[in-house]
Amino acid sequence: MRAIRMHDYGGPDVLRLDDVPVPEPAAGQVRVRVHATGINPFEWKLREGRMRGRIELQLPHIPGFDVTGVIDKLGPEVSGWSEGDEVIAALNRSAQGGYADYAVASAEDVVRKPASLSFEAATGLLTPAATAYRFLVELAEVKAGQNVFIHGGAGGVGSAAVQIAKALGAHVTTTASTYNIDYLRGLGADEVINYRRYRFEDYIGQADVVLDNVGGDTLARTPAAMKRGAVLVSPAGVPNAEEVEKAGVRTPSTAWNTGAAFGPRIQKLVDLVNAGKLRVNVDKAFRLEDAAAAQELSQQGHARGKLVLKVHS
Ligand SMILES: NC(=O)c1ccc[n+]([C@@H]2O[C@H](COP(=O)([O-])OP(=O)(O)OC[C@H]3O[C@@H](n4cnc5c(N)ncnc54)[C@H](OP(=O)(O)O)[C@@H]3O)[C@@H](O)[C@H]2O)c1
């Protein structure tokens, strides 16, 4: 099969289109003929070696964790699934990934794709929406009536977060560039602040919960502007402990290693889609062989919703 493989740590040129054996599903796994794979910032960060020490890859490595497609083979001891089922699958982060014609996933990390979403859009329910769900629902425990402030509302995580926070009954304020203001109002945001023109510090003081999807200087400036007792969560970085302490802000541990299977989490997002409360905007779809260009665009940091690889139609 065709697969994009990372042959070393470094720039986009370490990604090459290779011919490799089709993977065989082991016990408890299904094989998916990939229609689409989500592109996430995590993948260019991994490629550059920024995660070394935390995640050691076996090179050459096929990147990509978020695939949608059709089950084409069941491994032993799998029940409840059939060949031909249209699915959304979260791949094991330490195994070979989804920038490929086929990928294998644990059956408990697979859910049925809702008919209302294309294969490309459905990739948005994996890393991006699952992250928004984890940080807003499981960690910050957002409640109806709370004020939620989201840094970076227009990206993969942010677009899902705005909609999930609205579905929970929160009042949502978010930040974006001018060209994304109407997009975010369309997703349900109550207030959208143009972060290039206005200082977010002037709007964040009312928030009960802040979700930061930007990191860096944005995250560094955030605790001091928050009200005491409010909750700060960030998938994009680790808040400065001294600043957090000084500001009297709460920061739940953001570790993912709960041991829980991904299927039930993703099913909650599918339920929101089926209830008309969550949709996914596909910003741009690339061919498999253009994965390096897709990662380069992701690295520029201005995707509106999802960037994807369209592998099969
Ligand atoms: N820890 C985890 O488990 C986990 C999981 C998923 C993601 N992440 C991390 O979370 C971050 C977000 O991921 P993502 O997939 O949503 O990324 P993404 O899709 O690339 O996000 C792009 C968005 O960021 C916005 N943005 C850039 N600079 C901004 C700023 N200064 N203020 C406000 N918005 C800004 C852009 O908005 P405009 O175009 O409107 O400027 C764009 O819409 C990344 O750092 C990613 O690595 C972590």
Architecture in CATH of 141-247:
3-Layer(aba) Sandwich (3.40)
Answer for the pair 211, 150: CB distance below 8 angstroms, yes or no.
Answer: yes
Tens of each residue's pLDDT in the chain, 313 residues: 999 999 999 999 999 999 999 999 999 999 999 999 999 999 999 999 998 888 888 999 999 999 999 999 999 999 999 999 999 999 988 788 999 999 999 999 999 999 999 999 999 999 999 999 999 999 999 999 999 999 999 999 999 999 999 999 999 999 999 999 999 999 999 999 999 999 999 999 999 999 999 999 999 999 999 999 999 999 999 999 999 999 999 999 877 767 778 899 999 999 999 999 999 999 999 999 999 999 999 999 999 999 999 999 8
Q: Cβ contacts of residue 94 below 8 Å, gap of 6+?
A: 55
Q: In the prediction, which pLDDT does 306 show?
A: 98
Q: In the prediction, which pLDDT does 254 show?
A: 77
Q: In the prediction, which pLDDT does 257 show?
A: 67
Give the Å distances, CA to CA, from 74 to 28, 82, 103, 145, 313. Answer: 8, 7, 12, 45, 21
Nearest atom within ligand 1 for CA of residue 200: 32
Asked whether the CA dihedral 16, 17, 21, 23 is positive or negative, the reply is positive
Answer for the pair 48, 9: CB distance below 8 angstroms, yes or no.
Answer: yes
Cβ burial of 82 (10 Å; 0-12, 13-18, 19+) is exposed
Nearest atom within ligand 1 for CA of residue 158: 16
Query: Which one of 54, 127, 157 would you pick to mutate in the ligand 1 pocket, going by the greatest count of ligand atoms within 8 A of its CB?
Result: 157
Q: What is the C-alpha R_g of the chain?
A: 19
Q: In the prediction, which pLDDT does 18 show?
A: 98
Half-sphere exposure of residue 42, counting CA atoms within 13 Å on the CB side? 18
Q: Rounded to two decimals, what is the model's pTM?
A: 0.97
Q: Is 233 in the pocket of ligand 1 (CB under 6 A)?
A: no
Q: Is 157 in the pocket of ligand 1 (CB under 6 A)?
A: yes
Give the pairing of strands 2-6 and 15-19.
Answer: antiparallel
Distance CA 191, CA 183 (A): 12
- CATH code 3.40.50.720 region(s) in the chain: 141-247
Secondary structure (3-state) at 162: helix
Distance CA 62, CA 147 (A): 41
Is 2-124+281-310 a CATH 3.40.50.360 domain? no
Q: In the prediction, which pLDDT does 228 show?
A: 98
What H or E segment, with its residue span, contains residue 121? helix 119-122
Q: In the prediction, which pLDDT does 54 show?
A: 83
Amino acid identity, position 18: D
Query: Which one of 213, 222, 298 would you pick to mutate in the ligand 1 pocket, going by the greatest count of ligand atoms within 8 A of its CB?
Result: 213
**Strands (DSSP E) found in 75-166:** 86-90, 102-106, 110-112, 147-151
- CATH code 3.90.180.10 region(s) in the chain: 2-124+281-310
Half-sphere exposure of residue 185, counting CA atoms within 13 Å on the CB side? 9
Nearest atom within ligand 1 for CA of residue 41: 47
Q: Which amino acid residue places its CA nearest to atom 3 of ligand 1?
A: 235
Q: Is 158 in the pocket of ligand 1 (CB under 6 A)?
A: yes
